[in-house]
Structure 1
C-alpha cells in the first residue's frame, strides 16, 4: 500500500500528463492516479493550502503552484536543461515529432524535459515519467557505458516481469545483443517495444569530462517515424553536439540558439 507521501508524489507527477503547465480537473487527475475523486479532491485542497497547486476560481481546474515551480527551478542540472531546451525546440521544428530529454534515475529512464509535437497524432513520455531501461531508446542509450554485469543488475527486475510491447527483448542475452549493436552505431532505437504503434530513437549526451549524462530522443507513431530513422539520428546527433558544446561554456554564458542546430 502506498504511503501518504507516495500518494502526494503520484498526484503531483500526474500534472505532467499532457504537457507541463496544463490545467487539470479533479476527475482527470483521479483517473490518472487511479483513486477516488473525493480522495483526490481532499489531497488537492491540502496541496493548495501549501501553495503547491492553485485552483482557477472560474474553471475550478488545478495547475501547479508558484511555490512548487520556484522549488523546481533549483532542482536537477539547470545547465543541462537550459542547454537542452532550444535543442529540443529545433528538433520539433524540423521533424514535427515529440522531442525529450531523459536522465537515469536508479534503474529507470526519467524524462526531465519535453517539447511538444505539432502533430495531432503524437506519442512519447511526459515530464516526470519513469520508463524501463531495457525496452526504450532513452533507457538503452543511457546504458551505453555500462558493462554487462551492470546492465543485468539494472534490468533483471523488468526482464522477469515483462509488461512491454511485442518487440521488446525478453532475455538478458537478447538485450545485450541489441545493446552491443546500438552502442556500436551510437544510437538506440525502440520500435513496438514500449507499446504497439510507438517508435523512438535516442542519442547520448556527454558532459565536459566525457561522462554520459543524459539522452535526447525523438518519439512518435511508428507509421510516421520508422521510415525516417536515419534523418532522426542525424538531427539528434546535431542537437546532442549543440547541447554538449553549450555545457562546455563558462557558467552564465548564454547557450546556443535553435538556429545553430543545423538543417
Structure 2
C-alpha cells in the first residue's frame, strides 16, 4: 500500500507541473528516498504512466496516466487557452485552437475565437476528422505509420466537401510531407471556403499528442503573404508551447522565403496546392 501511495503522489505532483520535474525535484518535493523514487519512476515509465525527456531529463505524465481521465465527452481534457494560444489569437484575429489526441480521436481542447463578425463553427470538445482537418492530421503525421494506416482504414472517411481527400495512400503521402515541413494546411476540405493551418506541439519526451491550428474564412487569406503570416504565427505558438512543456529538441521552421514559394505554387512537391491561383499582395 505504501508503494501505491508514493506512486499516486508522483502522478499528482507531475499533474501540477506541465513542464515536468527532474528526479531530484521529485525527491525533494515528495521526501521519497532517491533509490526508492528512482525504482518507482522506472516502473511507472515502463507502464507509460510517466515519460522522461532525453534532453531535459524531466519526467512528465505519460499516455497511460492521461488516458485514466478519458470519457466520451472529453471533459477531463478541456483546458483554459495557454498563453501561446492567446498570443496567436491576438496577433491574427482569427480562430485559433488546440487539439489533442485522445485514444484514436483528435479533439479540440482549448479555443480562442475570432474577432471577426463571421466566425467559424469550432467548439471546445469537438472531434476533428482525422483525414479532413489540418488540426488532426498534424498530430497523426507524427504517429507510427502502422498506427496511422490502421486508423485511416478503420475510420469512415467522409466526404465533407468536393475537396475532401479520402484515398488512404494519398493521405499517408500528405502526412509525410506535413511532418517534413513542420505544418499542415487544409483548404476547403472540411468546410467550403475555409482555410486552416496547423503545427505540432511536442511534449518533453519529443512526442506529439497536440497541435495548434488557425482557421479563417478563405476570403480573408487570399494573398500568399497573409497565408505565410498565419503559418508563422501558428508555428511560433506551437514552438512556444513545446518549449514550455520541456521539449528541447529541433523543430522544423521554414524560412519566410520558403513559405512564400510554397504558397505561390512554385514548389512542384506542394501537397497543399488545389490548383487555385494565389494572389500577391499589392
**In which range does the TM-score fall when normalised by the shorter chain?**
0.5 to 0.7
Residue 209 (1) aligns with residue 210 (2)? no
Runs of 4+ in 1 over 3 A off after TM superposition: 74-77
Q: Structure 1 residues 76, 162: closer, same or farther in 2, change over 3 A?
A: closer
Task: Pick one of 225, 238, 241 that aligns with 1:240.
Answer: 238
CA distance in 2, matches of 1:124, 1:185: 28
- Residue 75 of structure 1 aligns to a residue whose secondary structure is helix
- Residue 198 of structure 2 aligns to a residue whose secondary structure is strand
CA distance in 1, matches of 2:101, 2:132: 14
Question: How far off its partner does 1:238 sit?
Answer: 1.2
Alignment of 1:56-135 (within 5 A): 75-76=76-77, 81=79, 84-135=81-132
Which sections of structure 2, spanning at least 5 residues, go unmatched? 1-72, 248-282
Structure 1-normalised TM-score? Answer: 0.60
CA distance in 1, matches of 2:147, 2:221: 31
Residue of structure 2 in register with 1:196 after alignment: 192
More helix by share: 1
CA distance in 2, matches of 1:145, 1:153: 14
Question: How far off its partner does 1:224 sit?
Answer: 1.2
- Paired positions, count: 172
Question: Could you say which structure has the larger radius of gyration?
Answer: 2
CA distance in 2, matches of 1:200, 1:85: 20
Question: How far off its partner does 1:163 sit?
Answer: 3.2
Task: Pick one of 123, 146, 150 that aligns with 1:149.
Answer: 146
- Aligned residues of 2:202 and 2:245 also touching (Cα < 8 A): no
- Residue 139 of structure 1 aligns to a residue whose secondary structure is helix
CA distance in 2, matches of 1:225, 1:157: 34
Task: Pick one of 133, 137, 140 that aligns with 1:136.
Answer: 133
Question: How far off its partner does 1:237 sit?
Answer: 1.6
Question: How far off its partner does 1:138 sit?
Answer: 1.0
Structure 2-normalised TM-score? Answer: 0.56
Q: Structure 1 residues 180, 161: closer, same or farther in 2, change over 3 A?
A: closer
Residue of structure 1 in register with 2:229 after alignment: 231
- Aligned residues of 1:124 and 1:219 also touching (Cα < 8 A): no
1:173-229 CA distance string (max 9 Å, x none)? 111121111111110111111011111111000111111121011011112135322
Which sections of structure 1, spanning at least 5 residues, go unmatched? 1-71, 250-263
Residue of structure 1 in register with 2:214 after alignment: 218
